[in-house]
Structure 1
Amino acid sequence: MPEVIFNGSAGRLEGRFHPHADKEAPVVLILHPHPAHGGTMNSKIVHTLHRAFSDQGFTTLRFNFRGIGRSEGSYDKGEGELSDAASALDWLQSINPQSHRFWVAGFSFGAWIGMQLLMRRPELEGFVSISPPASLYDFNFLAPCPASGLIVQGLSDTIVSHESVGVLVNKLRNQKGIKIDFETVENCDHFFTQHLSNLQASVSRYLQKRMQTFPQSLAS
């Protein structure tokens, strides 16, 4: 996968960019878990998301938040990381001028950042959030949530409670005009240990369903 470097507000950001052969293919930005707890763009769930989206015909970008790998800057408690994600989306749009479909996906901390980006960028038409940290961070900014998406949670997650994610899902489902798919995985921890194939299958099924509304050229 080609290595890329693009500019962020705190300096250069390191990423891995995988363009689809179709210049009009949908594009997804994939965000990694907490930078202060070992999260990188090479995290297993991030790579699983890349495979699921790529297999369904998406151009993908995953990158390291500031201070991780070769990305410049230092951890900024979410505010700077949201700026990084916005810079990454700007870069994606600049090099994919023929694409008009943009998504965001994230795992844990990355899901929190991704949902904030969703509120700020109306061109994002869909999202996938894995283990969103609803018991650790405030998600009240989703009022209303601007796009439909998928949330996946392990039922044996000891970092983020299943109950808190369920409350978030119910709140989003009460909003008009969007549809939230919610899937749970039995005996599955926060990191989907031994369940990555189940996760990939869940995301792939959801994307196949959503892509039925895409132009046929993008689904091929």
Structure 2
Amino acid sequence: MPEVIFNGPAGRLEGRFHPAKKRNAPIALVLHLHPQFGGTMNNQIIYQMYYMFAKRGFAVLRFNFRGVGRSQGQFDHGQGELSDAAAALDWVQTVHPDARACWIAGFSFGAWIGMQLLMRRPEVEGFISVAPPANLHDFSFLAPCPSSGLIIHGEQDKVVPQKDVQALVDKLKTQKGIIIDHQEMPGANHFFENHVDGLIDNCAGYLDRRLGLIGEDAM
């Protein structure tokens, strides 16, 4: 799990990178929750998703947005953080230029940033959005959403009400050519306290189906 420092638009960014063994392995970028509410790349959900991708042969990067940990810069309400994520993806692609595919995973604020990034990067073929804050941020940029993915949130989420996530899912499901897998975890709150293992199991199961590691009939 080598520590890496790479250049971002507002200065150096701190990350952890797991290189892939195969030159054409897929790459994954994992984005943390809101920097002003304790979000860092060492959040348990981010850490677990990082290893979920690594175990499946991905080259995977998690990093701290500007102003978090040893990353330089200051919080920029999403615009700068989107630029940070783009720079992070650029960095991974320079390390693995032969990558055959790209995935983006994000938690809460990171899910919002990740879904904006996939709109700008046609090479992104899949996403995992955990507790996307559909009531706090504008998701209308997903017009149309270019990639299939998983949207998963907690049934007891008091930060992002279920109806707001459902409205986002319903809108995306009207689009042709993509498939949105929507899962709601019973008993889980916004931070998946006491439910992180179940969350990662669900995300891993979805990823395995998309990668063809288990049959579609297991869905």
Q: Cα deviations across residues 126-165 of structure 1 (Å, max 9, x unaligned)?
A: 1000000001111000000000000111000111111100
* TM-score, length of structure 1 as denominator length: 0.95
The aligned counterpart of 1:33 is 33
Aligned residues: 213
Aligned 1:1-220 pairs, distance under 5 A: 1-212=1-212
Instruction: Point out which structure has higher relative CO (alpha carbons under 8 A, 6+ apart).
Output: 1
Counterpart residue identity of residue 148, structure 1: S
| Paired-residue identity, % | 57
Instruction: Output the aligned Cα RMSD.
Output: 1.0
Residue 52 of structure 2: SS of its match in structure 1?
helix
Tell me if structure 2 keeps the 8 A contact 1:127–1:150: yes
The one-letter code of the counterpart of 1:98 is D
SS at match of 1:128: strand
- AA at the equivalent of 1:24: N
Q: What runs of 5+ residues in structure 2 fail to find an aligned partner? A: 214-219
Cα distance in 1 for partners of 2:197, 2:46 equals 13
Moved more, 140-149 or 44-53: 44-53
Cα shift at 1:100: 2.3
CA offsets, 1:41-95, max 9 Å, x none? 0011111211221222212100000000110000000000000000001001101
CA distance in 2, matches of 1:52, 1:151: 17
8 Å Cα contact 1:56-1:207 kept in structure 2: no
Question: Per the alignment, in what secondary structure is the counterpart of residue 181 of structure 1?
Answer: strand
Amino acid at match of 2:197: S
Return 22-31 or 111-120, whichever deviates more.
22-31
Name stretches of at least 5 consecutive residues in structure 1 with no aligned partner.
214-220
Q: CA deviation at 1:20?
A: 2.0
**C-alpha separation in 2, matches of 1:9 and 1:200:** 31
TM-score by length of 2: 0.95
Runs ≥4 residues deviating over 6 A: none
Whether contact under 8 Å (1:151, 1:182) holds in the other structure is: yes
